[in-house]
Amino acid sequence: MIDIKLIRENKELVKENIKKKFQNEKLTLVDEIFEMDIKIRETQTTCDKLKADKNKMSAQIGKLIQEKKLEEANSIKNKIGEMAEEITALEETQENLKKEIKDRMLVIPNIMDSSVPIGEDDSKNVEIEKFGEPIVPDYEIPYHADIIESLNGMDKNAAGRTSGQGFYYLLGDIARLHEAMLSYARDFMIEKGFTYAIPPFMIRSDVVEGVMSFPEMEAMMYKIEGEDLYLIGTSEHSMIGKFKGQIVKEEDLPIAMTSYSPCFRKEGGSHGLEERGLYRVHQFEKQEMIVLCKEEEAMTWYNKMWSYTVEFFRNLDVPVRTLECCSGDLADLKVKSCDVEAWSPRQKKYFEVGSCSTLGDAQARRLGIRTKGKNGTYFVNTLNNTVVATPRGLIAVIENNYQKDGGIKIPKALQPYMGGKEKIEKENS
């Protein structure tokens, strides 16, 4: 949510930002907010004057009673009663206008960074840099589900019986490799100076509203029936929510945390090959990072954070690239965002394994997360980034470390988490 001062002082800037995001249907909201904000301030001025007049008249009553001017005193009492009713009506009008403004402000997109490329959708995202050589071996790389099943590492049929489509059992060394990635991600981020956390896996609706837009929530999140609780789609939600309504000490900034959680999403499986695999699932696990900082530090942290994901995957022998999200692909709360994509030697293309975003003070403004410094109290900036989300990350490791004999070479960084094991081999090898 942007500061309403932007609409008061430069509504054309806000409109231009909306146009760059190809959301012209929201342009009228800016004018509506502008007009309602004027009405609120006019109503406040009228209300303040009425209250001042009411106080002056109230002060006269006692004196009039002492002077036995009861009729005049009663007349003033009646006027005060009328003024009180008018004040109440004006205050109700203000509250209604504030609610109307908030409802509209929640869908006005954040002001993007000037470096964000302009484009209608993700087809206009821009490659920034490649890390590692994207190799296609001289032998066939099977579909990841076939590789895993050949190693007795997955049972989706059983998951279909217990839970339905979009769920899975991971088994044996594949399950162990999955957990090794998460354990390594945890230790990797701790070594970078991040504080490790395991957050709540359910959050209330006011936290949901604070961290994401309503359309995103409806598309992503599972609601617990009969309770004001949602299953998290990513631990960023509960990690940022941890600071809701708090005034953080300025000397404690920046706050850098890394969190593990399962994640739950209403992500429907696609047809054909993808439906059979682990690309689109309702349940996965994730190591996340979040940062709270001053505005002037945000871009430095943004560049650090995505580079950590690149380093993590390169340590697992996975070539990656970074992709700048264009204006039309940028979620409304974000100032700037980039995806980290892993190389798929089977598909001979890259696919998303992580996303890094800086959101300015939009989330902090919604959740009331402030800090107090020598220049007063202000909203912090928030950032988030994926270290690794599995099984997406698992697919990248499996494909890029798949061997001609059907086994999987375990990257050196993960071997300590696999009891020193160097390769996952077929049982008949």
- Sequence-ordered list of residues with C-beta below 8 angstroms from that of 341, at least 6 positions apart, any chain: 320, 321, 322, 323, 350, 351, 352, 353
- Mean pLDDT across the chain: 92
Crossing angle between the packed helical segments 70-105 and 27-66, to the nearest 10 degrees = 160
Query: 386-399 burial, b if ≥16 CB within 10 A, otherwise e?
Result: bbbbbbbbbbbbbb
Contact 4, 105 (CB under 8 A): yes
Q: How far apart are CA 198 and CA 250, in angstroms?
A: 24
Residue 269 pLDDT exceeds 50: no
**HEC assignment per residue over 329-352:** HCCCCCCEEEEEEEEECCCCEEEE
**HEC assignment per residue over 239-250:** HHHCCCCCEEEH
pLDDT reported for residue 271: 44
Pick the CATH number of 122-424 from 3.30.70.2740, 1.20.1260.10, 3.90.850.10, 3.30.930.10: 3.30.930.10
Crossing angle between the packed helical segments 27-66 and 4-20, to the nearest 10 degrees = 170
Average pLDDT over residues 415-423: 97
pLDDT reported for residue 214: 67
% of residues, the chain, pLDDT over 90: 79
Q: How far apart are CA 353 and CA 8, in angstroms?
A: 40
pLDDT band at 275 (very low <50, low <70, confident <90, very high): low
Q: How far apart are CA 60 and CA 344, in angstroms?
A: 83
Q: In this predicted model, what pLDDT tens digit does every residue of 30-65 receive, in sequence order?
A: 999 999 999 999 999 999 999 988 888 888 887 778
**Hey, what amino acid is at 253?**
L
Q: How far apart are CA 308 and CA 200, in angstroms?
A: 25
Q: How far apart are CA 266 and CA 268, in angstroms?
A: 6
Residue 239 pLDDT exceeds 60: yes
> Would you state the structure tokens that stand for residue 81, as one six-digit string?
């009663």
The residue with greater pLDDT, 386 or 68, is 386
Average pLDDT over residues 315-324: 98
Domain ranges of the chain: 4-105, 122-424
Superfamily of domain 4-105 in CATH is Serine-tRNA synthetase, tRNA binding domain (1.10.287.40)
Q: In this predicted model, what pLDDT tens digit does every residue of 390-414 receive, in sequence order?
A: 999 999 999 999 999 999 999 999 9
For residue 380, the 8-state DSSP code is P
**Hey, what amino acid is at 363?**
Q
pLDDT band at 82 (very low <50, low <70, confident <90, very high): confident
Q: One fold for both 4-105 and 122-424?
A: no
Q: pTM of the predicted model, to two decimals?
A: 0.89
Does the N-terminal peptide bond of residue 254 adopt cis geometry, omega within 30 degrees of 0? Answer: yes
Average pLDDT over residues 353-381: 95
Q: How far apart are CA 306 and CA 120, in angstroms?
A: 24
